[in-house]
Amino acid sequence: MKTFLLVIVGLSGGALVGAGMFAFFIALGVIERVIDISRTEAYRGMYKIAILLGSLLSTLIYMFRFGVRANKGWLLLIGLPMGIFVGMIASALTEVLNVIPFLSIRIGIIKWAYLLIIAIILGKVLGSILYWGLLKIQ
């Protein structure tokens, strides 16, 4: 009975966190903005499948804690697309929230705002590459 209760509580908590995350993305229109920025309207169904599979895969990885033997080349090949995706999500989120225009006006770099966007995207890509490159893989 105790195990059953733990399973129910764990699944309920995971469902609430997942629902909150997707509500956050949908309410702000982040995924729609990524589709608009990348001009990939024809692949809308692939975004749904990728988000679903990514959520499922990451859940399985964290639940079962399995290790993968890989060299740094493979990790870079994995980290680069992940960094690009995270960078696009971050840039779409900042654009939806109008952070860039506010920040560029506030610090007086209106005509250089595009450099701020590029810096955010490159920072996210580099962070993902460093994370995957420095991660201890068994």
| 125 and 113 part of one domain | yes
**Residue length, the chain?**
138
With a threshold of 0.75, does the pTM exceed it? no
CA angle 35, 20, 3 (to 5 degrees): 130
DSSP-derived secondary structure for 118-136: HHHHHHHHHHHHHHHHHS-
For residues 138 and 128, what is the distance between their CA atoms, to the nearest angstrom? Answer: 19
Looking at residue 79, its pLDDT comes to 77
pLDDT in tens, 93-102: 666 667 667 7
Report which residue type is found at 3: T
| 17 and 7 part of one domain | yes
Looking at residue 97, its pLDDT comes to 66
| 103 and 76 part of one domain | yes
| 83 and 35 part of one domain | no
Q: How many domains does one find in the chain? A: 2
Q: By C-alpha distance, which of 52, 47, 55, 58 is closest to 88?
A: 47
pLDDT in tens, 6-27: 788 777 777 777 777 777 777 7
The residue ranges of the chain whose pLDDT is under 70 are 92-97, 99-100, 103, 132-138
Which residue segment(s) compose the domain that 78 sits in? 68-138
Looking at residue 138, its pLDDT comes to 45
| 40 and 80 part of one domain | no
| 138 and 93 part of one domain | yes
Looking at residue 134, its pLDDT comes to 65
Q: Which of 46, 66, 86 is the last residue of a domain?
A: 66
| R_g over Cα of the chain | 18
For residues 105 and 122, what is the distance between their CA atoms, to the nearest angstrom? Answer: 22
Across 67-84, b (16+ Cβ under 10 Å) vs e yields eeeeeeeebeeebeebbe
Q: By C-alpha distance, which of 137, 129, 43 is closest to 87?
A: 129
- Rounded to the nearest integer, the mean pLDDT of the chain is 75
